[in-house]
Amino acid sequence: MSTITDTQPDPATRTETGRARQRRRLGGGAALSLLAWVIGIIFVMPILWMVLTSLHSESDAATNPPSLLAPLTLSGYREFFGASSGASPWPTIANSLSAAVLSTVVVLLLALPAAYALSIRPVRKWTDVLFFFLSTKMLPVVAALLPIYLILQNLKLLDNIWALGLLYTSMNLAIAVWMLRSFLAEVPVAILEAASMDGASLLRTLRSVVAPIIMPGIAATALICFIFSWNELLFARVLTSTVAQTAPVFLTGFVTSQGLFLAKVCAASFAVSLPVLIAGFAAQDKLVQGLSLGAVK
Amino acid sequence: MTVAVETRRPQAAQPNGTRRRTSDWVRRAPLLPALVFMIIVTQLPFVITLIISLMNWNAYYPDERGFAGLANYSRVFTDVNMRQAVFTTILLTASVVLVSLALGLCIALLLDRTFRGRGIVRTMMIAPFLVVPVAAALVWKHALYNPEYGLLNGMLTWIWQLFGSANPPQPDWITNTPLTAVAASIIWQWTPFMMLILLAGLQSRPLDVIEAAQIDGASTWQIFRFMTLPHMRQYLELAALLGAIYIVQDFDHVFTITSGGLGTANLPYAIYQTFYTAHDYGRASAAGVVVVIGTIIIATFALRTVSSLFRREISQ
């Protein structure tokens, strides 16, 4: 909107109607800004409500109309983290962390060389390879669930968190290859040529020239892979039981208790979501490029 | 495609045959671990699924295992629950994608302007995408939809009290409109995704051309209709298709909010149940193959869109 005022030739030549139109536009602009704020608040409301409820006592959380100004307490979090009631969530959080970290590390180890072979020194038919990776991401995981269950059963790897981590690797590898390829493709050819002209070896070029440029891209890729692994429910639910249970599976299981549990549910949901919220905001600048597989910048 | 390769990295003078073959393998080497891993972990299970789908195999009756031909497929297509699940999947995916796409476009247009606190609003908009899906579904089910003390009915009480009424309506959201309740929670999580892609699309518009149109007296609506929308078409397609790939597979919200009850069981949930609860491996596999075929149809369009964006990028 403001561009239109910039392109006006000269304040002196503006007519009365021009100024009126400009004022109307400014008024409309304020209304649109307000609308943006209102929609933003509506979208963030369930999260704010989750956090507020998690800080209330169970009896204050379950009132109608809601008691906004009830005293704050950490009892919901104490309940969830196992002060009184049965199972502790810590082993499941440790499992989720193990699976997510393992899969993220393996994804990067496999995807970085692959992305290099698809961008800086591309193999022949490299676009076909890229689209093969992408097509695997489009197959529904639920169709692979049964055979994977049977294979893991035969290998005695059911309820094993490392096996789950490797499955998450296959889930995220295609995304990571695409993301890293798009970041590597941004490395200017001239820099690489200059490095090789100066006699830098391949490893040295990679370490001192390529790595610093694509570090933010690698970090964003890692964070997005971490988020998808941390969130996963279906595989974790079917392939793990007691030893390797992950945090999302734990979440689905613990709302069976009688009586009031709303503050505890909200505390649990927020506690489990917090790592993802932090990772997501950390990757915010590269989130679009990552989620659109590098197609959008 | 090959043209692009040459522009990216001009090859040195053509070496002789064997040297070229070795250099090909040197180029391929970094790619192989990822490629082999991917083929083993993703293609092998589908081959097994295909084989099991032709078998009579229920884990409760291990002695009756044998070749079944296409019996599982005819059971999938005649089973009322499976047909219902196919219908639910299409309805759920289409409604969630369309609504979140439309909302995402409106919000992206609002955020494509400079105003006070734009960064904060953008951050607030992204947040729903960054809540663990199970956790989001739990919060929607218990803290928002609960008929006695959920936020939705609590707000109805407030509004009715404001007008001095003592009996506000207190609907039981999940029982009355189960599919809408599930869809709303998924829309809430996926609108930010659509918004981010569409906002990036809006910001990649050629501003000088738009300014030129403004100087030539084009109205805001004309600019939107004839310049912004055509430019946005491929971004809309990309957002819709990538979103559809994830939303078709949604399991977490259906599982958490309704446990597949009240007609909300989509295909992922129905297959999960056939396999996990009924232990009918043959039928679950046949249903899986049907889902794969359905997904390939969507995926073909998705791949075409991505590759057209992609080709434009590498030809630059």
Q: Could you tell me the two tokens for B281?
A: 């491996």
Name which residue leads in pLDDT, B251 or A297: B251
More confident residue, A20 or B238: B238
Amino acid occupying residue A42: I
Mean pLDDT of A202-221: 86
pLDDT of residue B3: 35
Task: State the nearest Cα–Cα gap between B307 and chain A, in angstroms.
Answer: 8
pLDDT at B261: 80
Instruction: Choose one of A80, A115, A140: the last residue of a domain.
Output: A80
> According to the model, what pLDDT value does residue B194 have?
92
- Residue B170 CB neighbour total at 10 angstroms: 16
The predicted structure's pLDDT at residue B187: 95
CA atoms within 13 A on the CB side of B51: 11
Q: Are residues A146 and A228 both part of a single domain?
A: yes
Q: What is the dihedral of CA A92, A96, A99, A101, to 10 degrees?
A: -130
Q: Per the CB < 8 Å rule, is B49 touching A272?
A: no
Quick one: what percent of chain A has pLDDT higher than 70?
Answer: 87
Contact across the interface for B46 and A143, Cβ inside 8 Å: yes
Q: Is A47 on the interface with B (CB under 8 A)?
A: yes
| Residue B47 belongs to some domain of the structure | no
Contact A115, A181 (CB under 8 A): yes
**pLDDT exceeds cutoff 50 at B117:** yes
Token pair for residue B275? 């396999």
Residue A46 distance to chain B (closest CA, Å): 8
Check CB contact under 8 Å for A238 and B113: no
The CA distances from residue A7 to A107, B149, B203, B214, B228, in Å, are: 50, 55, 20, 9, 20
CA–CA distance, A161 with A146 (Å, rounded to integer): 18
What CA–CA distances, in Å, run from A205 to A157, A209, B9, B32, B246? 41, 5, 16, 22, 38
Report pLDDT for A12. 42
Comparing CA positions, the residue from B74, B80, B79 lying closest to residue B56 is B74
Q: Are A95 and A235 in contact (CB under 8 A)?
A: no
The answer to whether residue A11 sits within a structural domain is yes
Same domain, A18 and A139: no
The per-residue b/e assignment along A216-249, b for 16 or more CB within 10 angstroms, e otherwise, is ebbebbbbbbbbbbbbbbbbbbbbbeeebbbbbb
**Which residue of A33, A273, A295 is in closest CB contact with B238?**
A295
Contact with chain B for residue A74, Cβ under 8 A: no
Residue A269 lies in a domain: yes
Question: Do both A245 and A279 map to the same domain?
Answer: yes
What CATH number is attached to the domain comprising A120?
1.10.3720.10
DSSP string, chain B: -HHHHHHHS---S---HHHHHHHHHHHHTTTHHHHHHHIIIIIHHHHHHHHHHTEE-BTT-GGG-EE-TTHHHHHHHH-HHHHHHHHHHHHHHHHHHHHHHHHHHHHHHHHTS--TTHHHHHHHHHGGGGS-HHHHHHIIIIIIS-TTT-HHHHHHHHHHHHTT-S------HHHHSHHHHHHHHHHHHHHHHHHHHHHHHHHTS-HHHHHHHHHTT--HHHHIIIIIHHHHHHHHHHHHHHHHHHHHT--HHHHHHTTTTTTT--HHHHHHHHHHTS-BHHHHHHHHHHHHHHHHHHHHHHHHHHHHHHHHHHH-
What is the predicted pLDDT for the residue at A83? 55
Q: Are A133 and A174 in contact (CB under 8 A)?
A: yes
Contact residues on chain A for B142, CB-CB shorter than 8 A: 255, 261-262, 265-266
Mean pLDDT for the stretch of residues B158-171? 82
pLDDT exceeds cutoff 80 at B14: no
Higher pLDDT, B298 or B114: B114
Task: Output the pLDDT for position A121.
Answer: 79
Residue of A nearest to B130 (CA): A277
Which of A80, A107, A136 corresponds to the end of one domain? A80
B window 60-99, beta carbon within 8 A of A: none
CA A297, chain centre distance (Å): 17
Q: How close A59 comes to chain B (CA, Å)?
A: 11
- A141 and A215 fall within a common domain: yes
Residues in chain B: 316
What whole-number distance in Å separates Cα of residue B256 and Cα of residue B258? 6
Greater pLDDT, A232 or A20: A232
Structure tokens, B214: 């403004």
Interface contact flag, B292 A140, Cβ < 8 Å: yes
Using a CB-CB distance cutoff of 8 angstroms, which residues of chain B are in contact with residue A261? Answer: 142
Range of the domain at A137: 90-291
- Residue B183: inside a domain: yes
- DSSP label at residue A266: H
A50 plus A69 within the same structural domain: yes
Flag whether pLDDT at A211 surpasses 50: yes
Q: Which whole number is the average pLDDT over B279-304?
A: 81
Let me know whether A37 and A128 are in one domain: no
Contact B151 A231 (CB under 8 A): no
Q: Could you identify the residue written with the tokens 């669930």?
A: A145
A38 has pLDDT over 90: yes
How many angstroms away from the CA of A50 is the closest CA of chain B? 7
Q: Are residues A62 and A139 in the same domain?
A: no
Query: Which among A26, A54, A80 is the end of a domain?
Result: A80
Q: Is some CB atom of chain A closer than 8 A to the CB atom of B199?
A: yes
Domain range enclosing B250: 79-315
- Summarize pLDDT for B89-108 with one digit per residue, the tens: 889 999 999 999 999 999 99
A125 and A228: one domain?
yes
Q: Which residue has the higher pLDDT, B107 or A23?
A: B107
**Which residues 224-263 of B have a C-beta within 8 angstroms of A?**
235, 238-239, 242, 245, 248-249, 251-252, 255-256
Q: What is the pLDDT of residues A83-126, one digit of tens each?
A: 556 678 888 899 999 999 999 999 999 999 998 888 887 777 78
Phi, psi angle pair for B58, to nearest 5°: -125, 125
pLDDT tens column, B25-68: 877 888 888 888 888 888 888 888 888 888 878 777 777 777 77
Query: Do A74 and A202 share a domain, yes or no?
Result: no
Look at chain A and report how many structural domains it folds into: 2
Decide if B86 is inside a domain: yes
In the predicted structure, residue A22 carries a pLDDT above the cut 70: no
Please, which pLDDT band fits residue B11 given cuts at 50, 70 and 90?
Answer: very low
Q: Which of A38-52, B232-246, B299-313 has the highest mean pLDDT?
A: A38-52
Domain membership flag for residue A40: yes
* pLDDT for position A5: 40
Each residue's pLDDT tens digit, A144-195? 888 888 888 888 888 888 999 999 998 889 889 988 888 888 888 888 888 8
A205 assigned to some structural domain: yes
pLDDT of residue A293: 74
pLDDT at B10 (0 to 100): 42
A255 chain-B contacts, CB cut-off 8 A:
138, 142
Confidence of residue B71 (pLDDT cuts 50, 70, 90): confident
In a domain, A297, yes or no: no
User: B76 or B180: which carries more pLDDT confidence?
Assistant: B180
Q: Is A165 on the interface with B (CB under 8 A)?
A: no
Please tell me the total count of domains within chain B: 1
Q: Which residue of chain A comes nearest to B157, CA vs CA?
A: A65
Token pair for B85: 């699940």
Average pLDDT of every residue of chain B: 83
Q: Phi and psi for A86 in degrees, rounded to 5?
A: 5, -105
Sequence letter at residue B168 = P
Does B309 or B262 have the greater pLDDT score?
B262
- Of the candidates B38, B144, B197, the beta carbon closest to that of A133 is on B38
* Chain B environment of A53 (Cβ under 8 Å): 143
Name which residue leads in pLDDT, B53 or A4: B53
Together in a domain, A183 and A271: yes
* Local confidence band at A259 (pLDDT 50, 70, 90 cut-offs): low
In this predicted structure, the answer to whether residue A79 has a pLDDT above a threshold of 60 is yes
Residue B65 lies in a domain: no
Higher pLDDT, B99 or B297: B99
CB count in 10 Å sphere of residue A90? 12
- Going by pLDDT thresholds of 50, 70 and 90, the confidence category of residue B314 is low
Quick check: A43 and B242 CB within 8 A? no
A133 with A212, same domain?
yes
Given this model, what pLDDT does residue B316 score? 58
Structure confidence at residue A1 (pLDDT): 38
Structure tokens at B139: 């919060």
Averaged pLDDT score across all residues of chain A: 81
pLDDT band at A257 (very low <50, low <70, confident <90, very high): low
CA B31 to chain centroid, in Å, comes to: 28
Q: Which of A46, A131, A174 sits opposite B303 (nearest CB)?
A: A131
Residue to substitute from B142, B194, B202, B236, interface A, most A β-carbons within 10 A: B142
More confident residue, A210 or B56: A210
Q: Apex CA B265: angle with CA B262 and CA B271, to 5°?
A: 145
**What residue of B is the nearest CA neighbor of A279?**
B130
State the smallest CA–CA distance between residue A244 and chain B in angstroms: 18
pLDDT on residue A258: 57
Name the packing angle between helices A284-291 and A211-231 (round to 10°): 80
Interface of B with A in 114-133 (CB under 8 A): 114-118, 120-133
Residue B56's beta-bridge partner residues? B66
Which of helix, strand or coil describes residue A50? helix
Residue A296 lies in a domain: no
CATH of the domain at B219: 1.10.3720.10
Same domain, A169 and A75: no
Chain length of chain A: 297
Chain A residues with CB inside 8 Å of B258's CB?
Answer: none
Let me know if residue B67 belongs to a domain.
Answer: no
Determine, yes or no, domain membership for B127: yes
Q: Is residue A294 scored above 90 in pLDDT?
A: no
pLDDT of residue A144: 85
Does A43 fall in a domain?
A: yes
Its pTM stands at 0.84
Is the CB of residue B105 less than 8 Å from the CB of residue B192?
Answer: no
With respect to residue B269, please indicate whether it lies within any of the assigned structural domains: yes
